[in-house]
Amino acid sequence: MVMTMLSRRVAPVWSASLRYLPPLAPLSPLGPKLGSSRSLATSDHHEHHQATSLDFEKARKRVERLVSRYRRLVERANEGDNGDGTVHEEIGRLHPVVSRYERLEALRVERGSASGIAADPDEDDEMRALAREESESLGREIDELEFEVVRGVLPQEDEGTKEILLEVRAGTGGEEAALFASDLLQMYQRMSQRRGWRFQVLSAEESEHGGFREAVAEVSGPDCYNRMRYESGIHRVQRVPKTETGGRVHTSASSVAVMPQATQVELNVPESDLRVETYRSGGAGGQHVNTTDSAVRVTHVPTGISVAIQDDRSQHKNRAKALKILLARLREEETRRRDAALAEKRRSQIGSGDRSERIRTYNFQQGRVTDHRCGLTLHSLDQVLAGGEELEEFYERLDRMRVLEFLENDDGGEE
């Protein structure tokens, strides 16, 4: 499908230190998603399809269990039992998957009829050819629906998270890495504006030439974790820096961490585990910055993880921001430890989601972006950095790989 994005003006997004990301230029039409601007790592589309097709029967037990659960809930609701509102809430959550499953079963029947006509020697050649074409079309639709249904029955830890903290840090490459970190942050800002998500910079440490050594943004909106989860890791850039006079291509890197937001209650962090220190802010910022103890450092004593914020003149606001970031990092560390044993048993093809894993390369000379986890290369660098739909092509491929990987290791779940 050809998608066209309308140009529009966008207001600047301010950080707490009154440093703002510059107003975004209107997004240009992205043009066709398929064709010359898009190149797969494998040249054989059929080969790729075979590699990413799934065995629906492996998930059938889970699907049928979910459908049965849905029907029991509907019966309860029809009898007036709403369980303090939880019944209707769960029905609403399960309905999209059940609806797709019912559509899937109907399409199987249609395809069976079409296949029967295509194989019937008593039918004329034209009718058989039309039936074969219809059967192939239904087959493609069935493949997509199978994937959507299986994805809907996967264990959904953090899937519904609507608030995340996005941390971007400059890595290898000095000032060029900081400038690239700024490019990445704006890429996510553009993607957020396109999807209607709220995007707010909580803290930012600027570099000498206008990049970011480190920046943390809060992103909130429907499906934001599901989309952004695949951005965690090392992003590598290959380009000629603005400061390079000899025209040589440099390789730099920045890291990204996507962390679901957490609360003290959720993580069971007592106040006694937190050490809060205040001190005078440093750097530029006006006459008030260095005269009050507005900067705050919050440390989680058991782990030693610490966050310092001095962006705001208000000590209370700085403390709230520091605590929010600290809790997200604690949750990230808890998740990393929990998944370590599983990672020892099998290394995920789509990556661990760890911030130290190299996941993507942006090559400016060739105008391409390559995701090393799924092997997909897009020759649409500008559109990707503009936060366009091309960026989400990586997510779709990685999502499919995640579903396939789950099926390979699934035992059908508990009865």
* 224 and 262 assigned to the same domain: yes
* 187 and 296 assigned to the same domain: yes
Q: What is the CATH number of the domain that holds 312?
A: 3.30.70.1660
Which DSSP letter does residue 352 get? -
Lowest-pLDDT range of 185-194, 224-233, 324-333 = 324-333
Residue 238: predicted pLDDT = 94
Residue 227: predicted pLDDT = 87
* 187 and 71 assigned to the same domain: no
Last residue of a domain, one of 95, 128, 153: 153
Last residue of a domain, one of 153, 172, 202: 153
- Give CA–CA dist 410/415, Å, rounded: 13
* 264 and 374 assigned to the same domain: yes
For range 145-168, the mean pLDDT: 80
Is pLDDT larger for residue 281 or for residue 361?
361
221 inside domain: yes
Is pLDDT larger for residue 13 or for residue 330?
330
89 inside domain: yes
* 271 and 231 assigned to the same domain: yes
142 inside domain: yes
301 inside domain: yes
Instruction: For the chain, give the percent of residues with pLDDT over 70.
Output: 75
Residue 157: predicted pLDDT = 58
For range 391-395, the mean pLDDT: 93
Phi and psi angles of residue 239, each rounded to the nearest 5 degrees, phi first: -165, 170
Phi and psi angles of residue 176, each rounded to the nearest 5 degrees, phi first: -65, -40
Last residue of a domain, one of 153, 177, 194: 153
17 inside domain: no
Instruction: For the chain, give the percent of residues with pLDDT over 90.
Output: 35
For range 187-192, the mean pLDDT: 95
Instruction: Check whether 367 has a pLDDT greater than 70.
Output: yes
For range 109-136, the mean pLDDT: 92
Phi and psi angles of residue 236, each rounded to the nearest 5 degrees, phi first: -105, 140
Q: Which residues contact 68 (CB under 8 A, 6 or more apart)?
A: none
pLDDT, tens only, 297-319: 989 988 889 888 887 788 888 88
* Structural domain that includes position 399: 163-343+353-409
For range 210-220, the mean pLDDT: 91
- Give CA–CA dist 192/291, Å, rounded: 37
Residue bearing tokens 């400016």: 364
The overall average pLDDT reported for the chain is: 78
Q: How many domains does the structure of the chain reveal?
A: 2
* 218 and 262 assigned to the same domain: yes
Among residues 348, 350, 289, 298, the alpha carbon closest in space to that of 320 is found at 298
Instruction: Check whether 400 has a pLDDT greater than 80.
Output: yes
Is pLDDT larger for residue 23 or for residue 100?
100
Lowest-pLDDT range of 40-54, 85-99, 146-160, 162-176 = 40-54
Amino acid making up residue 333: E
- Give CA–CA dist 144/336, Å, rounded: 32
* 273 and 237 assigned to the same domain: yes
Q: Are 236 and 361 in contact (CB under 8 A)?
A: yes
23 inside domain: no
65 inside domain: yes
9 inside domain: no
pLDDT, tens only, 269-286: 888 888 988 887 765 444
* 115 and 212 assigned to the same domain: no
**Token pair in block for residue 72:** 């029991």
Is pLDDT larger for residue 3 or for residue 165?
165
Residue 211 CA, distance from chain mean position: 23
* 168 and 303 assigned to the same domain: yes
* 91 and 66 assigned to the same domain: yes
* 116 and 189 assigned to the same domain: no
* 337 and 380 assigned to the same domain: yes
Among residues 206, 209, 205, 214, the alpha carbon closest in space to that of 243 is found at 209
DSSP string for residues in 187-244: HHHHHHHHHT-EEEEEEEEE-TTS-EEEEEEEEESTTHHHHHGGG-EEEEEEE--TT-
SS3 assignment, position 309: strand
pLDDT, tens only, 17-53: 333 454 444 443 333 333 334 444 433 333 444 445 6
